[in-house]
Amino acid sequence: MAEEGIETRSGISRRELVKRGAIVGGTLLWAAPVIQSVSVPAFGASPAAHTCCSCIQPNPAPGSINICVVDHFTCASCTTFCGFGANVFEFRKGTGCQCLPTGPKKVPRCFATAGNVCDPSPCP
Residues 74 and 108 placed together within one structural domain of the fold = yes
pTM reported for the whole predicted model: 0.58
pLDDT band at 7, cuts 50/70/90?
low
Residues 56 and 83 placed together within one structural domain of the fold = yes
Rounded distance, CA 117 to CA 106, Å?
A: 22
Residues 55 and 94 placed together within one structural domain of the fold = yes
- Torsion angles phi and psi, residue 78, rounded to 5: -65, -45
pLDDT tens column, 43-72:
444 556 789 999 998 888 877 788 999 988
The reported pLDDT for the residue numbered 48 is 63
* Number of domains within the chain: 2
Is residue 40, in this structure, part of any structural domain at all? Answer: yes
Q: DSSP letters along the chain, please?
A: -PPTT----SS--HHHHHHHHHHHHHHHHHHHHHHHHHSPPGGGSPPPPEEEEEESS--SSTT----EEESS--HHHHHHHHSSGGGEEEEEEES-EEEEEETTTTEEEEEEPTT--EEE----
Mean pLDDT computed over 65-89: 90
Q: What residue numbers bound the domain in which 58 lies? A: 50-120
Residues 85 and 106 placed together within one structural domain of the fold = yes
Please, what is the average pLDDT of the chain? 77
The reported pLDDT for the residue numbered 28 is 47
pLDDT band at 34, cuts 50/70/90?
very low
Residues 35 and 57 placed together within one structural domain of the fold = no
**Contact assessment for residue 78 and residue 70, using Cβ atoms and an 8 Å cutoff:** no
pLDDT band at 42, cuts 50/70/90?
very low
Residues 104 and 86 placed together within one structural domain of the fold = yes
**Contact assessment for residue 83 and residue 65, using Cβ atoms and an 8 Å cutoff:** no
Residues 29 and 70 placed together within one structural domain of the fold = no
